[in-house]
Structure 1
Amino acid sequence: MIEQPQPAARPPRLVSLVIRWLITTLAIFVAIYIVPGISFAGEGWQLGVVALLLALVNMAVRPLLTLLTCPLIILTLGLFSLVVNAVLLLLTAQLATALGVNFTISSFFSAVLGSIIISVVSLILNILAGEVARPVVVIRRQQ
């Protein structure tokens, strides 16, 4: 009998959410460090608030914005989703400023570049943390 590989055990849901929140916070920090048009001044926990706001904006606004811009996303082979990500990051900066967190983005180009960096860093860190499900291929040979 051939033993099938078992997928790695995933952490509990709350631990997974905290790990993703920390990863997003670190990704935003990297974007602030690299992109000259994105700035933050404040205590470290406020950067966590920005990450939480970004997650909430992505959950609440992204589906509607993606649905409305679906023809453009298809026409540009997905490149318009960079514009959607930049708009969501700008919206997050506006909400953070309204809440008294000093997180600012100076231009739309900075928002596009920042959203690309946040996406890439988040993807890499999620893979390293085991938060991205890896596909398992099982080949069975019938006799």
Structure 2
Amino acid sequence: MKNFGLRLAINALALYLAVGTGWIPYIHAENTQWWAYFVMALIFAVVNAVLGPLLKLLTCPLIFLTLGLFTLVINTLLFYVTGWLGSLIGSGFGFEIEKVWAGFLGALLVGIVNTVLTLVFRRELKTA
């Protein structure tokens, strides 16, 4: 459970940096309170766990042909779905992406932050 909590916090921070800081224009959070990013991270985790493997399986030939670069497109799509589902739930847990390139950069930033923080906390993640 500690492992899940730390991963959720890493996702929340990554989503805050991509959505809440304004670093990437054309992405706007519906709710900017700190706890809303944890709900967004939970939605993001569910979307990645359910749709991520399915999309990667269905697009395996494209991933192979592009030497893995098509996973960036899949991550962008999952980022869009997270924002859309958060809006559907209500209470402002989603975010709006106005331009495709902004969604791509947001997904890229979330991926980079997740990778770096997972490497920083790898010892804590292994022991949990």
TM-score grouping bracket, smaller chain normalisation: 0.7 to 0.9
Structure number, greater radius of gyration: 1
Aligned counterparts of 1:94 and 1:72: Cα–Cα separation in 2: 25
CA contact (8 A) 2:27 2:102 kept: yes
Contact 2:12 2:41 in 1 (8 A): yes
Distance 1:92 1:128 in 2: 25
The aligned counterpart of 2:53 is: 63
Contact 2:83 2:95 in 1 (8 A): yes
Q: Which runs of 5+ in 2 are unaligned?
A: none
1:74 aligns to 2:64 (yes or no): yes
Distance (whole Å) between structure 1 residues aligned to residue 125 and residue 66 of structure 2: 26
Equivalent of 1:126, from 97, 118, 126?
A: 118
The DSSP-based 3-state class of the residue aligned with 2:117 is helix
CA contact (8 A) 2:6 2:125 kept: no
Provide Cα deviations, 1:79-114, integer angstroms capped at 9, x if missing partner.
Answer: 110000000010111100101224111122111111
- Partner of residue 91, structure 1: 81
Give how far 1:67 is off: 0.7
Matched-pair contact (CA < 8 Å) for 2:11–2:41: yes
Structure 1 position 132, deviation (Å): 6.2
Determine what percentage of the aligned residue pairs are the same residue: 37
Q: Distance in 2 between matches of 1:55 and 1:81?
A: 16
Is contact 2:10–2:114 with CA below 8 Å preserved after alignment? yes
SS in 2 for 1:61: helix
CA-atom RMSD, angstroms?
1.4
Q: Aligned residue for 2:97?
A: 105
TM-score (norm 1): 0.79
CA distance in 2, matches of 1:132, 1:122: 13
Per the alignment, in what secondary structure is the counterpart of residue 78 of structure 1?
Answer: coil
TM-score by length of 2: 0.87
Q: Which runs of 5+ in 1 are unaligned?
A: 1-13, 134-143
Which is helix-richer, 1 or 2? 2
Query: 5 Å matches for 1:14-29?
Result: 14-29=1-16
> In the aligned structure 1, how far is the partner of 2:76 from the partner of 2:26?
13
